[in-house]
Every structure is written in structure tokens, then in C-alpha cells.
Structure 1
């Protein structure tokens, strides 16, 4: 095995180490502004630094969090004493990651469908991010379920872009996290979610194979197979867990280093509950863990925003609790007693 191959495998395995998952704090400027607006905080660079450094300096966070996905601004930021956020993470045993896509844009010729942009200049950007300390990266594609969609063209275009991104990451010695998110928005049922998720994952792994991407050095960030958020009769926890695992077994090669789930609009405890139910089903070909944004941050953000100075430690404790709950869920050891 070459040094690069070994390095990629080592990082990928560290990201999905038993009882650990990933903290997603890679919100774009627009998204973090929306989050801050919702809690009455102005989205300035100083406030964003204060909030994100509060999370990353939480004592003991590295026990349950293996890595954190950062935004371009964050990977370059330093604390007032000159300590970079990257070195703060390294001290805590948390791997620095970076969001590299340029967002999902309207797909020409396909109404209500999107394709993610950002491949132009990506090789050079990845080289710079590696210099800044990034060990892994993330690219998100968006698949919408609706009337007559997704189209095959949309699935294939996004799968192709994800695979090209992944190949460039591995060339740069960076582990790619590939995220083909099937959105929860809509009134579709569990079966429709299953079919679309399966078709998307199968297309993705065909493209990864064609682009010579090494699966042992790659992590899949998957959406759970779940009823649409506006569905009349939403599937329960066990149904979601079984459908999701069945779908992954049908479409994800065993060589893949691991699967981390996005929360995708689920509330905090719901996301934990679903992950735990999957891991209670027994051994899988790959570790099943988490890469949550809102489901880890929501309560923490609210508490911090009420009084950033006075509530700093309280907000950190809330984040640590959610991280620990999801760490337990990743082992299939979560319970309502632990939660409360």
C-alpha cells in the first residue's frame, strides 16, 4: 500500500471510529445568517468566530466528535490570542474538514431540479486547504422528490460531479465525504423515499468506480429513508431504521469506510433515535454514525445566543450532551434514560 493510500484509509477510519461522529458547522454565509437571525444575533465575522470557537473549545468534545466540517472563513480564523481554530481542533483530537462545493444551482432544462457546482479550480483549492490543515472534505448534492422528479439526468449529473470531486480529494491526500442528500421536503411516502435513495446511491457508486475512487478512503454522508415532512402518515422509528439499512445494503459496497447520516430536518432526539435503532439491528458491513448540523447545534445555539458571555459554558454542556447521545446511538447504546 502506498503512503497516500494508507493515510486516506487511516483518516477515513478515524472519522467513523466507534462511538464518534462528525459535527457539521460548515454553514454558508447565507445559512448562518438565517440561523443567527432566528435567535436575534447579528451575523458578523466576530460573532461567527465566537460561536464556532465556543463549540470547538468544549472540553471533552473529542471523546464523541471525530471531526468537524468547516466553512472557508472558519478554517482561516484565529482566536484573539493568535491560536488558529485548526490548531484548537487538533489539540482536542478533532480532525479539521472543509466544505468545498459552491452550492446547488438550478439545473438548466430541468425544472425544480438542482446540480451542485464547484469543480472548476477545485484541485488548487484542495491543495490550499491541505496546507491549512484539512484532513477531509465534503460535497453536497441535492435530490428533490416531486411530481415526475427526480429525473435520471439530475441523479446522473450529481453522481458524476460527486465522483469527480472525490477523485480530486484523494489525489490531494484528503478524504472525501460524498453527500447525495435526498430531501425530506414533500408529502411522499417511505417507499418513494426508498426508491429514490436507492437509485441515487447506485448511480453514485457506479460513478465512483468509473472515476477510480478508492472506497476504503471515502465516507458516505447519507440521508435516512424517511417519509416526506408533509406526509399524512409518517413512518415510525423502526420502519425508518429497517428501510434505511435495507437500502444501504442494496446499494453501498462493503469496502466503503463508513456511513454517516445527515439529520436533514429531523429534530435533535428523532435523529438520535433513528441512528440508535439502526445500530441495534446488529453488525453491518460498515460503521453507521452521524454528521449532524442542526441536530447537534439547535439547542446549543439558542442558549448561547441568549447571552454569549454568561451562557458560554451552559451552551457547551448542551452540545456535549447531544454529542454524547449520538455517540451512544452510533454504538446502539442510546436510551431514553440516558437522554433524560
Structure 2
């Protein structure tokens, strides 16, 4: 593990940028960016366009280590290059930003009020490649729609089981059991979730390190005790469908919780903007998300 990167993620001031929309969500990300579906005719062309979008974000002067601690990449982005360097190397060497990798293969069908992760039979192989590509940590997402104790327990057990596989490979897992922001019993789900996370944390080996990516809690500062657990490197928040302004406002009321926004970060950026317009819009978003993260 890279000690400089660990220190940065653990105690640096800033937030983590999520640039990891993958297969299913890529067309949506491109549409938001102003690229219509008729602009590409197959998956490869689509991934080229999305890499151009991500490259433009990463290379922007607004995307700097002054405000951004890390960036989460999609596997396809990890394998591509920026100015002749693999994306993770470019992020760290040119920008001082710690690279993470999204590793899940999407969500299974809803059962017991939750969606577990789909099986990942090739995970060991992917983790090996991630280590070769100088990735620091990984991210994987499950979703909780209802306060179903059995379902939530399964989500957390699965996340931590895969988390141990990731730790073994020498990486730091970001465990992401997202509670749907539209859930009618969101607060109760969060209470059950926290208990399950605390149970799993107590079973980790003394040197095991993880990160948590959680929905912004209904009750402010609800996750403070998770932040102080010795196994937890950092607790970050997803935007979960809130607009950027709403997500920032909620985040600012949670001391120590930092952003790991995706849609809320790229909100307002379009392919049609001039570089000056694009950079100005990104700079404003980055500053606003940073301000909410350091409260």
C-alpha cells in the first residue's frame, strides 16, 4: 500500500470524485453531458466518447489535488490512457489524486427489500490487474430499498466478505451499501445498517482497513461513531440522486463526512461548452462540493 496515498485519503482535506459510470449508466452519463445516443453505433464508440469526457474532466485545471483527494474509475477507464499514461498513473503522478476502481458487476434483482451485488467470478483477476495499474482502492455498490433486517444483514455480509478478498489483494475496499434516498423507511434502514456494519467491523483483523460510502443520513452526524472506528480510513457520501445543491446542503450538516459524488459533480458540464465555460462550471462545482465536505 502506498503510504502517501493512504495518508492523503485518511486525513487530507477534500472529497472523492466518482467518475465510474459503467456499461448500463454510460448512455445516461453521456446524455447528461449533451452527447446523444445516435452519436455512437456500438459499445466501443460509446466508451471512447465517455473516456473523452472523463479525460476532459481530469485534465481540467479545476480538477486538482487542492480540492480532490481521489477519483473512482470504471475498469474501461483504468485500461485507457491520458497523454500516453495509464489513467491511474496520470491521476497520481500528474495530479496528486489517488486512483480507485469500481469493481462490482451491477445489482441483482430486488429481494427482501434489497439488491445484492451480482456474482464476481473474475474478481481475483481484476484485483491483480488493479494492483499492476497502481490502483489504491476499490468500490462496490449494493442498494437497500426497505428496512428489512434480513435483507440488510445479507447486503453487509456480502460487502464485507468481498471486502476481505480485496484487502488480501493489497487494496483498500470502499464498502457501499446505499440506502435509497426515496425509501419510505430510510431512517430505520440506516439504523439497522449501522448496527450490521459495526458487527462486521468488530470481526475484522486488527490491521484490516476499509472505507465506507453511504447515503447522507436522515439524522445529522449519525455515522460519527463509524468514523472513529480504527478499521475505517474514511467515510464518504454518495449524492444518491439529490441535486448538487441539495446534496451539498445535507452534507454540510454532517461533520467529517466527505463527498464522493458522481452525477452531482458533473451536473451542468456539456460537450458543447468551450474549454473556458467547461472549466469555470467544473471549478464552481468542485469548490461547492469541497466547501460542503470540509464542514
TM class by smaller structure: 0.7 to 0.9
Please, which moves more after superposition, 38-47 or 193-202?
Answer: 38-47
Uncovered stretches (5+) of structure 1, i.e. residues with no partner: 227-242, 280-286, 333-340
Partner-residue secondary structure (3-state), 2:65: helix
Q: Secondary structure, in 3 states, of the residue corresponding to 2:258?
A: strand
Cα deviation, residue 93, structure 1:
0.4
Q: For 1:196-247, what per-residue CA distance to the aligned partner results, in whole angstroms no more than 9, with x for missing partners?
A: 11211221232243353746x2211111124xxxxxxxxxxxxxxxx131x2
Counterparts of 1:40-55 in structure 2, within 5 Å, are 40-41=35-36, 42=39, 44-55=46-57
The answer to whether the Cα contact below 8 Å between 1:139 and 1:165 also exists between their aligned partners in 2 is no
Are 1:169 and 2:162 matched, yes or no? Answer: no
User: Following TM superposition, where does structure 1 have runs of at least 4 consecutive aligned residues deviating by more than 6 angstroms?
Assistant: none
CA RMSD of aligned residues (A): 2.3
Q: Tell me whether 1:117 sits opposite 2:118 in the alignment.
A: yes
Q: Shift of the alpha carbon at 1:83? A: 2.9
Segment of structure 1 superposing worse, 264-273 or 111-120: 111-120
The answer as to 2:266 corresponding to 1:290 is no
- 2:253 aligned with 1:277: yes
Q: Distance in 1 between matches of 2:237 and 2:7?
A: 16
Larger Rg: 1
Q: Which residue of 2 aligns with 1:59?
A: 61
Give, in whole Å, the separation in 1 of the partners of 2:201 and 2:119: 18
Question: Aligned match of 1:305 in 265, 271, 289?
Answer: 271
Change over 3 Å in CA distance of 1:214–1:221 after alignment to 2? farther
Partner of 2:105: 102
Q: Summarize deviations over 1:50-100 as a string: whole Å, max 9, x none.
A: 100001111152211111101110001124x52322232121001111001
Q: Please name the residue that 1:231 is paired with.
A: none
Q: Distance in 1 between matches of 2:210 and 2:248?
A: 23
Normalization by structure 2: what TM-score? Answer: 0.87
1:194–1:244 CA contact under 8 A, matched in 2 = no
Query: Are the structure 2 counterparts of residues 221 and 195 from structure 1 closer, same or farther at C-alpha, using a change threshold of 3 Å?
Result: same
Inter-CA distance 211–103: structure 2 relative to 1 (3 Å threshold): farther
